[in-house]
Amino acid sequence: MNKLTHLNEKGEANIVDISTKKPTKRSATAEGKVSVSEATLNLIISNNVKKGDVLSIARIAGIISAKKTPELIPLCHNLNLEFIKIEFEIDKKNKCIKVLSECQTTHKTGVEMEAMISCSISCLTIYDMVKSVDKNAYINDIKLISKSGGKSGNYQRK
């Protein structure tokens, strides 16, 4: 069995020592969905939600949260994020908003958690913006869909 990387020889939680690793370009993309009613989706599309521009606020929340990942996930390293992109795809047929978050850096460790956090917080922000008009709104399918760079190489969800 492989040694757990975040535990020391005493079994105590520690941040991984990356001091000897070489920086490489790294990227990760995560996605999630916020399902809403047809009426709520129309409010979002027409920018008529009383709290404001749902998608713009969710984008900003996602960007801010990506930069705060090590404050939220205890054993994540501080990274200098070089690029954060939050995109939204409106799916009228399935009455949902797909959130895509991509994060990039040139560093010694990956950005998967930054992409996952920013996707999650973007979804939560959409939910918060519409919860007063749609009690049945829900978040689902948050997952890593791709990553590149680093020792473990590339990953693409099938």
Q: Distance between CA 100 and CA 32 in Å, rounded? A: 7
Q: Would you say residue 144 lies in a domain?
A: yes
> Does a structural domain hold residue 143?
yes
- Which residues does the annotation place in the binding site for substrate? 75-77, 113-114
**3 occurs within a structural domain:** no
128 is catalytic: yes
Max intra-chain CA distance, the chain? 57
1 — pLDDT class (breaks 50, 70, 90): very low
Nearest alpha-carbon partner for 64 in 118, 131, 9, 110: 118
Mean pLDDT of the chain: 93
> Considering the domain boundaries, does residue 150 fall inside one?
yes
Residue 12 lies in a domain: no
Locate tokens 């040694």: which residue? 3
Helix, coil or strand: residue 30: strand
**116 vs 7, more confident:** 116
Helix (H) or strand (E) holding 139: strand 138-148
140 near 32, Cβ under 8 Å? Answer: yes
Instruction: Write the CATH number for 38.
Output: 3.30.70.640
Q: Given this model, what pLDDT does residue 3 score?
A: 67
Catalytic residue among 53, 128, 134, 141: 128
